[in-house]
Structure 1
Amino acid sequence: MRAPRLLVAITLAGLLAAGSAPAWSLDLMQAYQAALAQDARIRAARAARDSAIERLPQARAQLLPNIAINLGRNKNDIDRTQENALGRDVSFGEEYFSYNQTLQLRQPLFRMPLFAGLRQAGFVVDDAEATLERELQDLGSRVTGAYMEALLAQDALELVLKQKSVTTIQLDAARKSLQAGYGTRTDIDEAQARLDMNTAEELSAHQHVEFTRRQLEILINQPVDSLVTVDAQRLPLLPPEPAEVAAWVRMAEESSPEVRALQARLDTARAEIDKARGGHYPTVDAIAQISRSGSENVTSPSSSYTNHLIGLQVNIPLFAGGYVNSSVRQAIAEQVRAEENLEATRRDLAVRVHREHRGITEGVLKVKALQQAVRSAQQLVQSSKRSFEAGSRSTVDVLNAEQQLQSTLRDLAEARYVYLLSRVRLRALVGMDREQSIGEVNGWLGGS
């Protein structure tokens, strides 16, 4: 009886220890590493890459020797009718077994479609590799976006709660002022209306916090207790390097995994044209064969043969009903489509690079401007409070100043997150090291 009691005591102690343990804070790098292992799109892209890699040995195998053994054994039952010396038909029945054994080696020497198929398989692998890299880069952007959106929702909730606390204090002060004989009913009504609005905003902010946390949890496939926040003191406001947007566009066109994937698809389409045109070319194979057969001749069923054969086999296509020409036209149309998709992506990529580059450069200026606006709003709050105490300002003035401060703080937090997200996205567009980009932003996190 003592062992079960001991087990219960150990279990209860473990639960109490877990309950008293501090909440675990998730940072950006941890979120990215978790998403890297759990995201379904990444796993699908890896499987597609692994599948595409198998195209190479399959295409290469068609150019290597093919060795086959063909074995057969048959029972022959022959009914034969022939005239005898008297001119009458006489029937004979005969049963015997025959067999054949063939060992053949076939080596393709010239097959245009197979050569083109081998090149095409390499391009398919390049496409899959680039597509996986694009998904990995996009994952960094998606995780950073979800993380920053969750932080913004958390900041918005904290600001609403702070505003609600200030409004509650102002409402209490307005009631006391009215009781003292120098306040107004309007101040109470204004403070009460602001408090009711803050309560509604708090409910909405709680819902948005839960929604953004859920978005992040889906990406990393694990619950989120708390997030490590951005440390404003560590955050450097750095312009993009190089500063010229044209340089970033060039890097994107040269190194973007999205462009590389589409370029590989264009090369695949060109190889498909060569494959289709190969239908007009003859094929040449070298053949070496050993065959043994027995009882295959009706006239001499007990005989056996052994044949050694070596030579070349040439197949010259003459007419296939227009199939080859149609395949060539189809492949050319696919090439045109691949070219246009590549050109459209390059143009769109330039627009996205411009947008994220501007998000960094303008983000630096916006964050600095809002930092100054916060200082001014804080000074306004202090001045409004002193003026209220002196009787030259009303409760409404103080509430307006507080609301302006909280709005400015929310705008500043949003500007910081947009600036950080633009840095990650810009580097992802040009195919830079995603781990380095995430690690750089993660180094600017501090509080919890």
Structure 2
Amino acid sequence: MSGAAVSALLTFSGAAMATAETLADTLVAAYKHSGLLEQNRALLRAADEDVAQAVAALRPVINWSGEVVRNFGVNGGTSAFTGSFGTTGISSTTASINLIAELTLYNGGRNRLEIEAAKETVLATRAQLLAIEQEVLLRAVQAFMEVRRDLEIVALRRNNVRVITQELRAARDRFEVGEVTRTDVALAEARLSAAQSDLAAAEGELQISVEEYRAVTGQRPGTLQAPRSAPRLPGSQQVAETAAVRSHPEMVQARHDVAVGELSIRIAETAAKPTVTLSGRLGATEEFGERDYSRNGRIALEATGPIYQGGRLPSLVRQSMARRDAARGNLHVVRHQIRQNVGNAYARLGIAQSRISSTTDQVRASRVAFQGVREEATLGARTTLDVLDAEQELLDAQAALISAQVDQTIAAYSVLASIGELTAQSLRLNVPIYDPSDYYNLVKDSPAAKSKQGRDLDRVLRALGKE
């Protein structure tokens, strides 16, 4: 970002507060813009379809087949009447069509277990979507506050350059009349160069923050209004940890993953049980150019089951048990990770609050000191270096206060994220909340393409822009 661009952004940021963008506006923009949310919503719809496919396995399967066969060739042989050898050409064209239906009557409960496993996967994927939503919104909070931080730091750095420029001018004037030495002028010149370098670095950091904001929201920041209040948080860290372990999306996902593991074991065990199917077939065959035809039908009740498969079936069961155990281990890891995240978030919040209190006092004292030192310098009781040092201490204190205020807001929203409450619904954002059950309810019964429910599903897909 050029110096002119930074100047324009700073000027725009000083516009009337009536047109200011609030943190809520930024969160809304991030929620609507996020491709990551769109990606995971699509993955959730894919998981919903697994339920539909599992339900379909309980229903009859009806297929058709048809073929047209051309037979041709030559028969050769000796005639029984004449004793002579001769050949006869053969050719025929037949057409057949068949209707085949099959229904699984029993397979050890595998189909119903697969439906339950698919439902648990859907619930786990929904929780994953909420966790992604929290990541998107927390990133938006960080982007918003970082732009505000860097805007104020740039303003401080610019003011610092202006003040040191004035100090340098005063030092040169005093040098001309012999009140100070050349050393005082050189010190002021060195501090001005350092201040200009710090300003350039601050403008670079602002450019990075602006690009992050644009990546998160899809637009450049306007006038960003400071949050008027902090979000409401649980009364204590212990209460927050209890809530997080109970309802954090990552914890919910881990629990459903364990449930899927348990069902996978039972599904693997059904492979050793017999399968009973009922099948029916209707067919018709006709020969072109002839009066020959046939009509036939077949109904069969068939039972099959494994006897020996080289140890594959018990291996599948053991593999499912191992994956279930892995899911249980992950549940343990996630539980403690969530507790740690809550503790870390509260610790950062406490640090920021303490820094705000101390740096506020530091800014007040540094301002008084700077004003006093500058007055004393005009009377010859202080050197130019004393003034520059006091001004630098004031600048550092102001920058520390700005950073502490930004860190406090980010830490507060990090606490919300650590307990699973940083969602569009919990924050009551002014956006259409994505309801994952809408699509699920349309597909869970595996509707046919031409049914009313199937047509409703087509309309939903068109609304989503997927057709």
| Length-normalised TM-score, structure 1 | 0.81
Distance 1:426 1:56 in 2: 35
**Residue 312 of structure 2 corresponds to which residue in structure 1?**
323
Contact 1:102–1:289 (CA under 8 A) maintained in structure 2: yes
- Per the alignment, residue 70 of structure 1 pairs with 65
**Residue equivalent to 2:249:** 257
Match of 2:411 among 408, 422, 426: 422
Take 1:28 and 1:382, find their aligned partners in 2: how far apart are those partners? 36
Q: Which residue of 1 aligns with 2:387?
A: 398
Q: What is the CA-CA distance between 1:436 and the residue it aligns to?
A: 6.7
1:444 alignment partner in structure 2: none
> Hey, what does 1:348 align to over in structure 2?
337
Letter in 2 for 1:178: F
1:104 aligns with 2:96: no
2:23–2:225 Cα contact (<8 Å) kept? no
Aligned residue pair count? 410
* Residue from 262, 268, 276 that aligns with 1:284: 276
- TM-score normalised to structure 2 length: 0.78
- 1:269 maps to 261
Give the corresponding residue for 1:247.
239
In structure 2, give the amino acid aligned to 1:102.
N
| C-alpha distance in 1 between matches for 2:191 and 2:425 | 45
Residue 198 of structure 1 and its aligned partner are, at CA, apart by: 0.3
Correspondent of 1:333 among 311, 314, 322: 322
Cα deviation 1:159-204 (Å, max 9, x = unaligned): 1111111111222222222333333333322222211110111111
Range moving further from structure 2, 97-106 or 261-270: 97-106
- What pairs with 1:26-425 in structure 2 (closer than 5 Å)? 26-77=21-72, 79=75, 84=80, 94-111=90-107, 112-224=109-221, 226-230=222-226, 234-235=228-229, 241-293=233-285, 305-425=294-414
CA contact (8 A) 2:233 2:416 kept: no
Aligned-pair Cα RMSD in Å: 3.0
Q: C-alpha distance in 2, partners of 1:133/1:436? A: 10
Contact (CA 8 Å) 1:424, 1:438: kept in 2 or not? Answer: no
Q: How far 1:374 sits from its partner (Å)?
A: 1.5
Aligned equivalent of 2:421: 432
Deviates more, 1:129-138 or 1:353-362: 353-362
Q: Secondary structure at the match of 1:155?
A: helix
In structure 1, C-alpha distance between the alignment counterparts of 2:151 and 2:194, rounded to whole Å: 19
Give the whole-Å Cα distance in 1 for the aligned partners of 2:386 and 2:77.
Answer: 124
Aligned-partner Cα distance in 1 for 2:49–2:229: 46
Change in CA separation of 1:390 and 1:428 when aligned onto 2, cut-off 3 Å: same
Identity %: 22
Which residue in 1 is equivalent to 2:440? none
Deviations 1:236-261 (A, max 9, x none): 6x8x7433212211211221112222
- The CA distance in 2 between the partners of 1:142 and 1:333, in whole Å, is 36
For structure 2, list consecutive stretches of 5 or more residues without a partner in the other structure: 1-11, 430-467
Equivalent position amino acid for 2:104 in 1: P
The change in CA–CA distance for 1:89 and 1:261 in structure 2 (over 3 A counts) is farther
Q: Which residue identity is paired with 2:312? A: Y
Task: Tell me whether 314-323 or 138-147 shows the greater mean CA deviation.
Answer: 314-323
